[in-house]
Structure 1
Amino acid sequence: MADEPCTSFVCTWDPSVGRSWAANRQRTAVNNFYLVNKFHDHLAKAPIGFTEAAGNFELINSSGKGKGGDPVIDEPLDGASTAPGGLPDAGHIDNANMSTPPDGQSPRMQMYLFHQPGTTYPDGDPFIASAGSDEADVVYHEYTHGLSNRLVVGPDGVSTLNSQQGGSMGEAWSDWYAFDFLNAQGYAPDTSAPGEVRVGDYVGAGQDLIRTQPLDCPVGTTSTKCPGTPGAGPGGYTYGDFGKIIGAPEVHADGEIWGETLWDLRGRLGSKLTESLVTRAMEPGPGRPVVPRHAQRDPAGRPHDLLRP
């Protein structure tokens, strides 16, 4: 696979060979299972406190609070053989999602392979030939959709993150919680230099492919690692960039505004205090939340994608 950057970033399958992903299937599944359970335990602990009583995902309701019986249905190589010849089709590549029904019903996490079969690197598909299950921030991003869609709900327990701004906040929370945890563990260092905390660094082979720029891009920076976009301009984003980042409102792009804001807040207040403030603010949040004039998601129950709606 000479056309793939498999030296610095390890490839896990060959998109030109059917079922080549099967060689690493067990390792990929174990990795995804480990990450899902590790993040479950992290979110359950204080100060986040995403417990059974709060509507988290448990097979057995041991506390007597919450409904239980709703463990995450984890699909680490979903759709890997949906096209002829043991390859993924166009609907099961370069993405990941998680759908979250009300408490008591299991969410479904679908993790796809990356790099479209039949395309070349980098012109046709710049993603490395890998699996989303192999990148912790991709798994944690999707799992956090479960957190936000269980905390921001209506009286019937159905998620209300179904507005443009609410959906954008959902994407931002997913990026933020993922890297808050990874940074605290030492796996995603963040120095004073802007542009280090990149979503999808592995599957994107070190490029900003999942987001337009890293999470740690402050407003006003002139760093070349925080280039912004033609519509929004360079540097960190502000609320004035809403709907302009990719030329039209889109939850993943507009979510970068809130994600960068939360990362800046974490830098000022620290991880634990910010975890508490952000999570407690979700719990009494209104349906279809709108960011105040400074800083919306798919209908409840639908999959919440990593890259695109």
Structure 2
Amino acid sequence: MSRPTVAQLRAFLALAEHLHFRDAAAALRMSQPALSGAVAALEETLNTRLVERTTRRVLLTPAGERVARRAERVLGELDRLVEEVRAAGGPLVGPLRLGVIPTVAPYLLPVVLPRLAAEFPDLELTVHEEQTDAIIAELVAGRLDVVVFAPPSPVPGVTELTLYDEDFVLVAPRSYELPGVLPRTALNDLDVILLNEGHCLRDQALDVCRQVGARAAAATYATSLATLVQLVSGGLGVTLVPETALPVETRRAPGLEAHRFAAPAPYRRIGLGYRASSPRAAEFEALAAVVRSAVDGDSATEVRVRGRGE
């Protein structure tokens, strides 16, 4: 008697989650025909219809609902088995799927990746860059092992290790002639440009503005920090940039000045997150230690590295 394969179950579970062939295929990083073929093969193996295909979306049949629930448990147990075996083989050996938010990845990875390669040569690292909600969803679903993000997690079940705190710095056109050190209330007289919705950095910047009653420029948003800084360079307003991004982004744009805030300065916290059920906690503690050490040794930026439990 033939049995479903792991690939078939993963394909069907992704389809059950997204209820759309294109979105499910994108989530698994496979082609849509390959995903459709895997689901069809699973239906043939089980000799039952699992999905109802309409012109706009996919619906699960009653049998499909039952298979999806069971497949989630089966694949969860399989992932835990693999994690336990990897953990027994030594710290940070073999595949590790890392998610990183876009406002951290370009500035942290160049500092951390060489250190990881030197200290853990048998680590097989893959990196996925996406906004917080997306990488946390991938983490909880078992498609990522660990994430670097700005805590807290939007969902329960994620263990968080603090890595470092970094101040926000106000970036403005040089023509604004602002003092070098600013009180937060200076934001009241400025148009603050933000990232688009979905970026946690946008929410953090809005929080800083709300604390002093400042407004954000309603008509101007950007999809990346690089674009945000270029807009400021073009005279469209000011923005808040995290310390680690400052050297990279201000180097690309002319006519800018960075202004730090008077103490206590607004800041954000960056942490490492993993599933609370993962047996690889010791490995992720080791990973966090490497990240802290690499950041602490980077002379280009000023951050406050935090130890375990802070």
**TM-score over 0.5 for the alignment?**
no
Task: Indicate the TM-score class for this superposition, using the shorter chain for normalisation.
Answer: under 0.3
Structure exhibiting the larger radius of gyration computed from Cα positions: 2
Normalised to the residue count of structure 2, the TM-score between the two structures is 0.25
| Structure with more of its chain in helix, by fraction | 2
